[in-house]
Structure 1
């Protein structure tokens, strides 16, 4: 049975190769290939090419493993390991040339994520973690920021591609703005979670995440001393709430009070 460190080493090599592919393809221009949940939820041919590369590399190295990718690739696991992959987290940023998008790969044993890597395609930063092994940025250990009063917390968030959910989220953010230092929307959930893990923010809340958005970044955050929780959001979808463990409960209360969650 492969160890988490062995799974991470494979994931890291494949994520970097996929990031190189995304970078090279971006130089030649980008066109939207299709839409998914709404007209604003786009996918490009580069998303498909990166996912195909990742799936091929992982299953060549470990042919009995399962695979779940954002762009639809799926294989059932015979080994107990399933790879959960977002080939480009932040596709809209990628389309517009906004330098905030990442490759995210996680290894899940049963229901537990045991290794994860998020590579910032533009900056080249590589965030990694194994279950029980801590979180790292380019090989250096990272930790969440110390807990500060709610009014001094910088919060990351994101918005759904579906109009009704987005409107509900906007109303909740309006309420939250009066209680915290400020709110940022950067456009990549995986990087938001990693930035929180290394102290670049104090909290995170977003409705509508899928497993591939959360798997690697969530593990990295937990291993850096963060806590990740979920509930049903105001729009009826899965809402992820995250913060340093010591400040999680206070932030969750604020999230509830501001209307992020279903009543």
Structure 2
């Protein structure tokens, strides 16, 4: 078994270095943006995880086999979730790293780059933020709960499925769009938010956050999306009856 504490320290250090290095843009074409920090974090973390554990890495910026077809234990990495936020100085961006096996997260790290906070859920049980144990909220109905979500700019905003998503979100008291799925899920684990819902998002965006929510007493439902490694996610504190 690898040293989970050492891995967390490395992830935090890599995130701090990325923040100090700045948000240089390598390409900005159409609706996509690619930052130097994305690629440097990918290279640094992928190499560390492979050398440290001998396991393969599925990354948004690297190899992308269908996560459902990977056998045994493997890492799912989003080196910089919330790249556009990071580029514009909006304080919601994170490094997301999770060890998966059997279709579920086993160890999860989400490093909040701007707040210098490391969220962690490991083999010992429980969910932690910088060493302090955290729990999901006690909200017990959607009409009293806050949900985080997001909508892809590539979706047809007039299609029936989109309207169904909007109708579902309207069941909640408040809706928040943070721009980082990893942090949205970390906030559910911490009780800052009560739920998270999104359609057709990359598995690397949510892999670690789902582990946090589960370890903090919550629950989640994961469904196949429209393409390999795309998923529809509903995660909440476990009390909302959804």
Unaligned segments of structure 2, at least 5 residues: 66-70
Q: Point out where structure 1 has 5 or more consecutive residues left out of the alignment.
A: 252-263
- For residue 9 of structure 1, give the secondary structure of its aligned residue in structure 2: helix
Whole-Å separation in 1 of the counterparts to 2:154 and 2:85: 17
Structure 2 length-normalised TM: 0.86
Q: CA deviation at 1:207?
A: 1.0
Q: Which has the larger radius of gyration?
A: 1
Alpha-carbon distance, 1:130 to partner: 1.4
CA distance in 1, matches of 2:36, 2:155: 25
Task: Please state if 1:214 is matched with 2:210.
Answer: no
Q: Distance in 2 between matches of 1:148 and 1:213?
A: 26
SS of residue in 1 equivalent to 2:201: coil
Q: State TM-score, norm by structure 1.
A: 0.80
Corresponding position: 1:127 with 2:119: yes
Mapping for residues 2-17 of structure 1, pairs under 5 Å: 2=1, 6=3, 8-17=4-13
* More helix per residue: 1
RMSD of aligned C-alpha atoms? 2.7
Quote the Cα distance in structure 1 between the aligned partners of 2:49 and 2:205.
19
Q: 1:143-158 to 2 correspondence within 5 Å? A: 143-158=135-150
Match of 1:257 in 2: none
Q: 1:67 aligns with which of 50, 57, 63?
A: 57
8 Å CA contact 1:131, 1:219 repeated in 2: no
**Deviation readout 1:75-102 (Å, 9 max, x if unpaired):** 9xxx953221111001111121111000
1:174, CA displacement in angstroms?
4.4
Aligned length: 236
User: Does residue 1:90 correspond to 2:82, yes or no?
Assistant: yes
Match of 1:241 in 2: 234
Change (3 A) 1:172 1:53: same
The secondary structure found in structure 2 opposite 1:98 is coil
